[in-house]
């Protein structure tokens, strides 16, 4: 499926941004302009079931295949957050970016996938107060974006979680030079897995003051963690 995309900047280098569950390209509202200012043409996608992209046929393979069908191969930088980090890991060999950055990637949900599917389904009903309560450090504009992206998100996507995460999605090795940026608290990647990633050849950095949505909890800390990669 060809995905809906949004672009920022006109640089000769290309960066692609892949969001997590319930979000779409709008979640990168602060990251994308900074990359554009650094000389990138930035492409943000809406994954299948999110934003203005098509619906139906959800699964790990289809999310990855859609990226390959939509995005140019051989870009300088590919960034994936959470579910987007899982999809990017499955597509990275075919996309062949020069560098990949995985932001608190959803690689090892295992049995938690069933619980997560039920919990995320309830998010279609949340209001501003709930979003603000979960994310006290977000700017008001990020709360606005979250409400808008949830409204445009197909909650049926989470029904694919149990099958998608029935097996490990952690890459055996980095296909391209790869950075994993982890949250300081409530990270999807526990410390022992982070250590294993280092042994497998990944560079791992942490944003100590950020939760799972690192770039909205601590934007400056997140961008600092990308030093040398963007």
Q: What is the mean pLDDT of residues 49-70?
A: 98
Give strand pairing partners of 5: 45
Q: What is the mean pLDDT of residues 76-89?
A: 98
- Structural domains for the chain: 5-225 (3.40.50.1820)
* Residues counted in the chain: 230
* Pick from 167, 25, 194, 40: nearest CA to 102: 194
- The pLDDT score that the predictor gives to residue 177 is 98
Q: CA-based diameter of the chain, in Å?
A: 43
- The pLDDT score that the predictor gives to residue 89 is 98
Q: What is the mean pLDDT of residues 166-179?
A: 95
Instruction: Give tens-digit pLDDT for 186-210.
Output: 788 988 999 999 999 999 999 998 9
Question: Residue 177 CB: number of other CB atoms within 10 A?
Answer: 14
Burial bucket for residue 108 (CB in 10 Å: 0-12, 13-18, 19+): middle
pLDDT greater than 80 at residue 164? yes
* Pick from 81, 77, 7: nearest CA to 42: 7
Q: What is the mean pLDDT of residues 135-158?
A: 96
- The pLDDT score that the predictor gives to residue 83 is 97
pLDDT greater than 90 at residue 140? yes
Average pLDDT, the chain: 94
Q: What is the mean pLDDT of residues 9-16?
A: 96
pLDDT band at 111 (very low <50, low <70, confident <90, very high): low
- The pLDDT score that the predictor gives to residue 19 is 98
């Amino acid at each position: 499926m060809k995905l809906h995309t949004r672009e920022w900047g006109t640089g000769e280098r290309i960066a692609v941004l892949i969001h997590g569950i319930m979000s779409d390209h709008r979640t990168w509202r602060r990251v994308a302009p900074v990359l554009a200012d650094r000389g990138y043409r930035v492409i943000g996608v809406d994954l299948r079931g999110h934003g203005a992209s098509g619906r139906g046929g959800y699964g790990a393979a289809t999310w990855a295949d859609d990226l390959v069908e939509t995005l140019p191969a051989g870009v300088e930088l590919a960034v994936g957050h959470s579910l987007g980090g899982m999809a990017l890991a499955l597509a990275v060999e075919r996309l062949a970016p020069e560098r990949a950055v995985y932001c608190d990637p959803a690689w090892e949900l295992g049995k938690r996938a069933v619980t997560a599917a039920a919990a995320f389904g309830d998010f279609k009903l949340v209001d501003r107060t709930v979003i603000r309560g979960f994310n006290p450090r977000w700017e008001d504009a990020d709360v606005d974006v979250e409400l808008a992206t949830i409204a445009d998100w197909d909650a049926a996507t989470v029904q694919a979680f149990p099958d998608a995460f029935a097996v490990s999605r952690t890459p055996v090795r980095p296909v391209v030079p790869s950075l994993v940026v982890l949250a300081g608290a409530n990270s999807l990647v526990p410390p022992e897995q982070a250590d294993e990633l280092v042994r497998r050849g990944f560079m791992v950095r942490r944003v100590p003051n950020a939760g799972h949505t690192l770039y909205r909890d601590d934007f400056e800390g997140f961008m600092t963690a990308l030093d040398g990669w963007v």
